[in-house]
Structures are given as C-alpha cells and as structure tokens.
Amino acid sequence: MAFTSSEDNDLALATPPDKIQHPISGDKEIKEYSLPSYFTSLSVADLKVDSDLSETDNSNSDSAIETSDDFVTVSARSRQFDGLEGNARTYHRFKEGKYHLPNDEIEKSRLDLQHHLCCLAFESHYLAPIENLNGGLHNVLDFATGTGIWAIEFAAQFPDVVVVGTDLSPIQPEHVPVNCHFEVEDAEDTWNFAQKFDYIHGRMLVTCFQSHLKVFGSAFDALRSGGYIELQDASFPFLGADDRWNGSAFQHWMKLLMDGSKALGKDWNRVPRYKGYLEELGFVDIVERRFNCPLGTWAKGKKNKVLGTWGRENILSGLGALSMMVLTRGLGMTVAEIELLLVDVRNDINKDGEQSIHLYAPMFVVYGRKP
C-alpha cells in the first residue's frame, strides 16, 4: 500500500516551539512547546479521588492474572544479535537506534510487569471478538512482541493456534510453547510472511514507529479477509486528573519527552488517532475503548488502587528507559542533568494521600476487521 495521509502531517501538528532555558542548568537553550490541547482533552470521569485516606488496601488479589508453566517447550532459536551498550543500558543491535528504549534485564522485567498491568486493566489478553471467528483461528501474529509474554500466554491458551512474535530484539525466552515461535524483524520493513493471519495483535506501540499508519497497513495486507487487528496502547503524554499537577516536574518531564521524541522523528501522541488510521486503511466494525490507569493509589475503588500500585511501579521502573536516549539525543541533555530532573519526577510520582497530584495514564484498545 502507498500512503499519503493525515499521518504525514503528524509531526507538524504541535504548537510551534518557543525557546526556553535549559530545565536543569539554565545556561543553554532547548526547544519546548507550550502545553498542547491533548494534555487536557481526555475525560477522567471514571477516576474519582479517594477522599477516605483510611482506605489503604493495595492488595492485588483482584488481579489474579495467572500463567502456567505446564506446557511443552522448545528452544526458540539461537541468539543472533548482541546488545549495544549506552547510558549504562543495553539496546538492540539489529537496526541500531530505531527503537529508543533499552532491551536489558531491567527493561524486560518492566515489560512483563506492564503485561500483567494490561491484563488487569482490560481483564483479558484480547478484546476483539475472535472466539467464534468465521473460518476459525489458526494463525496469529504479535508484532513488536517485546519479551514475548503475550504471545506465549496466548499460545498456551490456544494450543491449536500457531503464534508468531516479531521484534527488533531477540529477548524472548529460550523455551516457548511448541505452537509459538519468534523472529527478529523490523515491523516498518516490508512484511513477507508465507501465510495470512486470522488475528494480529500489537501492544504498547506508541514509542516504536516513525509511521504507525504504514505498519498498520502492512497488518491489513497480512490479514486474511474477516481477520482482526487489535491495538492496545498507552497514550502519551500521561496526565493529571485535575490542576494539582500544574507546574510539576512530572508535567515538565512529559513535555520534554514529547519534544524529544519529535526531534528524533517520532510522534508519541498518535494513539488517539489509531481508530482513524484503521478507518483510513479500510478496516470495518472498528471499536475503540478507553481506559484510565491511575499512577498511585489516589483513585477510589479497589481495582483502581491495584491498577495504581502497578501503574506507579511501571512508570518508576521505566523513567530511565523512557528518558535517556530521547533526552540525550533529542534535546542534548546530559545523563547527569536527566538524573537530576528524574529525582523530582520520582518525588511527584511517589506523592500519596493529600500530597498526591492525581496522575494517570490514558489507555486505548482499538480493534477492527478486514472486510
């Protein structure tokens, strides 16, 4: 498919940047745009501040996302690519520099935690209506699979389905279900799979691609007629539910990440446009569902407190991963400057009770069918 679309103008949609003083040293200038409309555009009606501070049950008993090791395993493949080191982290070697987050053990642990957070938030590994798919469910693709945990658990849940996971990094386990395997691929390259897929899944893609539309177009071509694509993602920037976060280090950090990602040729605010992209590509029966994950235990309700506990740990463990390459390469900040900034960001995230600034992550699930 050839694409001339609204996405071509995505990187030009932000308010033109103004010059401001460097956030740490104050002795040089970087670009930063004024607060865009998307910082306040999403509804948070489902998140209510818990004014009863005595409610401190953060038990994750509701999560109950169980996995099983009781399945036959085989070796995925020999390791072909060593990691590249930078900023005291390890990054992918294949297509070096395309993906701005690391692939080391710290990040792998965070990705697995994030997987369970998504399963808790969405209450399933998938929301698309694939159980009674016309023609059956035989071949499934999980692109940008990360550690492969979604693909592995899906393969265990559907042992008669062949599940393929692809990623730039070969960081998946050595032993996987017999109906699951992984390939090192760049989803922005041409897709050359021998078979058509009945269901294609992609999760947490917001930081991955220069052109999400191109990748989703490749998925359209790789699906058989009647097959589904499902996209599960968190929308940047993360937000505050009210004006408590105004002027905070967290808000400033979010703005820097958005600016840095644009400087590197990526737009981290595309998730709210996924539905429009699927419509543009010709998908039908498109459904968009929105979720809000609190960061911390400030939101009322047991599930929100569990989500908030996991969500806070996810963002805390990902601060360096999100920041280092984007802010050093994109905005010219030093590692020391970033670490100093992140001290205040961590403090904002960890504020609780009356001190909480009511942070949350907007999350989207969008799925559609190829006619």
- Residue 58 lies inside a defined structural domain of this protein: yes
Lowest mean pLDDT among 51-55, 73-77, 362-366: 73-77
Q: What is the mean pLDDT of residues 231-239?
A: 96
More confident residue, 25 or 343: 343
pLDDT value of position 48: 80
- Residue 10 lies inside a defined structural domain of this protein: no
Q: What is the largest CA-CA distance in the chain?
A: 64
Is pLDDT above 70 for 150? yes
Across the chain, the runs of DSSP E, i.e. the strands, are 18-21, 29-32, 73-75, 84-86, 89-91, 139-143, 162-167, 175-177, 180-184, 197-203, 223-234, 239-240, 284-294, 359-369
| 3 state SS of 352 | coil
Write the DSSP assignment of 322-348 as a string of letters. Answer: HHHHHHHHHH---HHHHHHHHHHHHHH
pLDDT in tens, 261-288: 999 989 999 999 999 999 999 999 999 9
Nearest to 180 by CA among 167, 163, 193: 163
Reported as a pLDDT band with limits 50, 70 and 90, residue 44 is low
| 3 state SS of 288 | strand
Give dist(CA 136, CA 249) in Å, integer: 50
Question: Global pTM?
Answer: 0.79
Of these ranges, 21-25, 59-63, 364-368, the one predicted with the greatest mean pLDDT is 364-368
Is pLDDT above 70 for 30? no
- Residue 14 lies inside a defined structural domain of this protein: no
- Residue 39 lies inside a defined structural domain of this protein: no
First-to-last C-alpha distance (Å) of the chain? 16
pLDDT value of position 81: 41
- Residue 79 lies inside a defined structural domain of this protein: yes
Of these ranges, 25-34, 103-112, 170-179, the one predicted with the greatest mean pLDDT is 170-179
pLDDT value of position 154: 97
pLDDT in tens, 155-164: 999 999 999 9
Lowest mean pLDDT among 59-73, 93-107, 114-128, 277-291: 59-73
**Which residues lie closer than 8 Å to 315 by C-beta, 6 or more apart?**
238, 295, 349, 361
pLDDT value of position 3: 45
- Residue 180 lies inside a defined structural domain of this protein: yes
Reported as a pLDDT band with limits 50, 70 and 90, residue 325 is confident
**Which residues lie closer than 8 Å to 347 by C-beta, 6 or more apart?**
249
pLDDT value of position 6: 57
Give me the number of domains the chain comprises.
1
Q: Match 């996971």 to its residue by tokens.
A: 165
The type of residue at 19 is K
Lowest mean pLDDT among 115-119, 173-177, 286-290: 173-177
- Residue 296 lies inside a defined structural domain of this protein: yes
Provide the angle, in degrees to the nearest 10, between the axes of the packed helices 302-331 and 335-350: 160
Neighbours of 166 (CB within 10 A): 19
Lowest mean pLDDT among 65-79, 251-265, 277-291, 313-327: 65-79
Residue-number span of the structural domain to which 303 is assigned: 19-32+46-369
Residues 120, 166, 187, 80: is their CA dihedral positive or negative?
positive
Find the CATH number of the domain harbouring 347.
3.40.50.150
The answer to whether 284 and 63 are in contact (CB under 8 A) is no
More confident residue, 341 or 103: 341
* Percentage, residues of the chain above pLDDT 90: 61
pLDDT value of position 47: 80
Q: Match 């792998």 to its residue by tokens.
A: 108
The answer to whether 212 and 277 are in contact (CB under 8 A) is yes
Is pLDDT above 90 for 166? yes
Q: What is the mean pLDDT of residues 218-225?
A: 98
Reported as a pLDDT band with limits 50, 70 and 90, residue 71 is very low
Of these ranges, 68-72, 77-81, 185-189, the one predicted with the greatest mean pLDDT is 185-189
- Residue 150 lies inside a defined structural domain of this protein: yes
pLDDT value of position 25: 31
Is pLDDT above 70 for 111? yes
pLDDT in tens, 51-67: 775 544 444 434 333 33
